Amino acid sequence: MHLGFVLPQIGPWAGPEALTRVAARAEELGVDSLWVTERLLFPLEPTAPYPVADGRIPEVYKTALDPLDALTFVAGQTSRIGLSTSVLNLPWYNPTLLARRLATIDVLSKGRLRVSFGMGWSPEEYTAAGSDWSTRGKRFVEALEVLKTIWTTDPVAFDGQFFHTPRSVIGPKPVQKPHPPIYMAAYTPAALDRVARYSNGWNPVGIPPAGVAQMFEGIKSAAKEAGRDPSELELIMRANVEITDSALGDDRASFCGSPEQIEADIAETRAIGATEIFFDVSFDPAVRSLDDYLGHLELLFGLATRAAG
């Protein structure tokens, strides 16, 4: 099971020093991948609750570097480690422009990019991005078709309901063929069906490993029904971590508790067949500085190494 770590791209510590130090230390330790997330704004009067924990939007979202700019910055300072998104909210983007940005990162990093897409939860962010909330599912699928068309064909031509690309030559193409791996964060039946039909794998968060295993079996069954080989689908687990000094009770959330409890969660994730687990410590109240962030990186890498036996 591969190990990844979310870059300090959101929160008060986000900046060039934080990105540089965490990326360098992760590559030095032997971490397999670095990840960025996406947050466009912090709505002061949200019309939809944050879909995690108590529904309150975390304060760290008040500062968020652009995810793709952050990956580009880090690509130039690393040589081996994978570069990934979890997630880009695909319906916000013009897919022709996004295809160029993602291909550029893959070229500059010599083929180290992977992309996880989602749809987000905030109507306010859709308004600010100029994207229609009510058609987000349809826009998601069509944007994905545009990306794959641009990355795999020349000349390129696309004429859909939402997006139109005149017959053109568009380059560069990604280094990875046919394109960088595409994952999806998904939880509703319609979204899980998109994982089965269109992606290289599933990227869940906030679900205990046992629940993930059950849902992933459903995804693989749907993939088989769609004519795909379910064994080719990867399970990449995002772990939002909170480390405590003492053990919590049986009703604790996964990846929240003492180091020993978190090590057990990592081992369980490995046991259900996850291809990769990556850790996000941005929301841990104990992380108050960049040094805390780096300390969590080293602790979690050690726990994951021990959990792997």
Alpha-carbon span 118 to 302, nearest angstrom: 30
Q: What is the mean pLDDT of each run of 10 residues along the chain (309 residues)?
A: 98 96 98 97 95 88 98 98 98 98 98 97 97 97 98 97 98 97 96 97 95 97 97 97 92 93 96 98 95 97 90
| Token pair belonging to 1 | 């099971």
171-199 residue pLDDT tens: 999 999 999 999 999 999 999 999 999 99
Tell me how far apart the alpha carbons of residues 101 and 11 are, in angstroms, rounded to a whole number.
Answer: 24
Tell me the pTM: 0.96
Domain residue limits at 166: 2-307
- In sequence order, the 6+-apart residues with CB closer than 8 A to the CB of 97 are none
- The tokens of 116 are what? 């996880």
Pairing of strands 156-159, 164-168: antiparallel
Q: 3-state SS string over 98-151? A: HHHHHHHHHHHCCCCEEEEEECCCCHHHHHHHCCCHHHHHHHHHHHHHHHHHHH
Distances (CA, A) of 178 to 185, 221, 227, 294: 21, 24, 19, 35
What are 84's two structure tokens? Answer: 């990934």
Please, is 39 exposed, middle or buried when counting C-beta atoms within 10 Å of its C-beta (0-12, 13-18, 19+)? buried
Residue with tokens 């899980």: 192
* pLDDT > 70 fraction of the chain, expressed in percent and rounded: 100
> CATH no. for residue 120?
3.20.20.30
Residue recorded with tokens 């490995």: 270
Q: How many domains does the chain have?
A: 1
pLDDT tens digits for range 256-286: 999 999 999 999 999 999 999 999 999 999 9
* Closest of 262, 267, 82, 95 to residue 165, by C-alpha: 95
Helix (H, G, I), strand (E, B) or coil at 308: coil
DSSP 216-279: HHHHHHHHHHTT--GGG-EEEEEEE-EE-SS---TTPPTTEE-HHHHHHHHHHHHHTT-SEEEE
Residue type, 78: T
